[in-house]
Amino acid sequence: MGCFQSKTTHLASPDQDPPIADPANGEEQEEHSVPGFKEFGLADLRAATNGFSSELIVSECGEKAPNVVYRGKLRNNRLVAIKRFSKLSWPDPNQFLTEASGVGKVRHKRLVNLIGCCAEGDERLLVAEYMPNDTLSKHLFHWEKQPLPWEMRLRVAYYIAQALDHCNAENRKLYHDLNAYRVLFDEEGDPRLSSFGLMKNSRDGKSYSTNLAYTPPEFLRTGRVIPESVIYSYGTVLLDLLSGKHIPPSHALDMIRGKNLLLLMDSSLEGQYANEDAAELVELASKCLQYEARDRPDVKFLLSAVATLQKQQEVASHTLMGLTKTPVVLPTMLSPLGKACVQMDLTAVHEILLKTGYKDEEGAENELSFQEWTQQVQDMLNTKKFGDIAFRDKDFKNAIEYYSKLVSMMSVPSGTIFVRRALSYLMIGQPELALRDAMQAQVCLPEWPTSFYMQALALSKLGMETDAQDMLNDGASFEVKRQNSWRG
C-alpha cells in the first residue's frame, strides 16, 4: 500500500486545529507532529479520494470485505488512509463519533495514528496516517526482491508488543483481528500497528475477518473478544514471522510438539538466524496459542521476552529491509501527462495520448517509413488505422487486438503503439501487461519521457510506489533535457 510521500506529510494543516495537548504524552506529540484528531466533512474526504475512486483503493482485504480503505490526499497535501465502512455499519452516528475520538486520543510512535473521522448521512469514515511501505503481509508472503530479514522480523514482534503495551496503558485492551495485514511500514521502514483494529465492533462488522482456523478458541465459543484473545492473535503473527506463511495454529503446534522446528521455519531465510532466538520465539508463540485464555502470558511478558531478542537496534529499519530511504516528493517539472500519471487519471492520459498522436516518433526509424510499398505495408497501415480508431473510441479490447497484430507484423515496432497498448491494458485492469509494454516503449525510444511516465503509472497500479517514483523522476529528467535542447 504505498504512495508518494509529500514533504508536508508531518506538518499540520493551516485549517486544522492544533494537535491535542496531552501532558502525559507531550514528548511523543512533539516528536511525531501528528495533527490533532478532527471531524472531517464528507465533501473533504470525497475530494481527497477523487470521489472514492476505485483507482485509490489500497485495502488488501478483497471485494467481499464490508469496509474499504482508500489512499487520499487532503487539502494540505497530507497523504492519509481513509477507511469507508459499509452502509449498515455504525447506525448511530454519535456512537461512531464517540468511539473514533476515543481511539484518536491513543497516540504512539508504534501506532498508525487516527487523525479524524466523518459521520454524515449513511457515511462512516475514519482517517489515519498513511504508511507508504506496504503491509507485513506483503513483505512476508508476497515479497519481490528479498525476504524479510530475520532481524526485521524480531523488530516487528518487538514494536507490535510495544504498541499493544501502550494500548493497554491507555485502557484499550481489546484489539480486533490482529494479523499481518494490520501491521504497516512507515516511511522509515518501521513497523506500526493500525489503529483501525482498536475500534469496537460495529453492527455488521466481525471481530475476526480471517479464517476460523486463526480465530481465538474463546471467540468461537462465545462470540466475545477478551484481552487474552489479543495475545492469541499475537501468537499467530509470531507464526507468520517464523514461517513466512500463514499456517493455522493447530498445524504449527503439531510441528512444535513434534520438534519439527525446521519445517516451521521460513526456508527463504536460508538459515540466516540464530537457532536459540528462533527457539525462543517458537516457545513464546506456543504460550500465546494456549487453548485456555488464562494460560496465555500478558502483554508485559511478551514485551520483555521479545526485547531481549533485539540484536541490531542501531541498524535503521529501512536498511534492514533494503528500502531506499529518499524523500518521496513529486518532481517539480512534470508535463500534463506526467501529472495525469501521478494522479492515476486514466481518462486524462487517454486524452493527452490522442492529442500527441505519433509526433514524438518523428525522425525515428520506423518500418512504415522505409519499407517498399507492398501489400504487407498496406495491411500494416490498415491494422494501425483500425487500432487507432478503436483507441480513439475507447474500445480498448479491440485496440489491444489490432495493436498486438501490428506489433507482430513490424520488425521495428513503434514506441507509440506500445504506449497506447499499455494504456489499453490499464483500462481493462491488466497493469502487469501495461508495465511490459511501457518498458518496450522505452526500448524503442530510450529517452522518451512518455514511456517512463507510463511505467510509473503501471507500477503505481501494482503498488510498487518506490519504483514508480524513480520512473517519474527519470521521466522528469528527460523532460528537462528535452526542454533545454529546444532552448539551445
Q: Are strands 111-112 and 68-73 parallel, antiparallel or unpaired?
A: unpaired
Beta carbons within 10 angstroms of residue 276's beta carbon: 9
For the chain, how many residues are written? 488
- Please say if 177 is a catalytic residue: yes
CA-based angle 326:329:335, to the nearest 5?
135
Question: Is-contact 34 56, C-beta < 8 A?
Answer: no
- Concatenating the DSSP letter of every residue in 395-412 gives -HHHHHHHHHHHHHH-SS
CA separation for the pair 387, 417 (Å, rounded): 9
Cα dihedral 471→477→479→483 (10° resolution) = 180
CA separation for the pair 364, 140 (Å, rounded): 45
| Displacement of CA 423 from its chain's centroid (Å) | 22
Rg of the chain taking only CA atoms, in angstroms: 26
Question: Is-contact 418 438, C-beta < 8 A?
Answer: yes
- Concatenating the DSSP letter of every residue in 286-313 gives HHHT-SSGGGS--HHHHHHHHHTT---T
Of the residues 17, 122, 134, 177, which is catalytic? 177
Residue 366's Cβ-side half-sphere holds a number of Cα atoms within 13 Å equal to 18
Give every CB contact of residue 291 below 8 A, 6+ residues apart in sequence. Answer: 217
CA separation for the pair 406, 377 (Å, rounded): 11
Question: Is-contact 191 245, C-beta < 8 A?
Answer: no
Indicate which residues carry an active-site annotation: 177
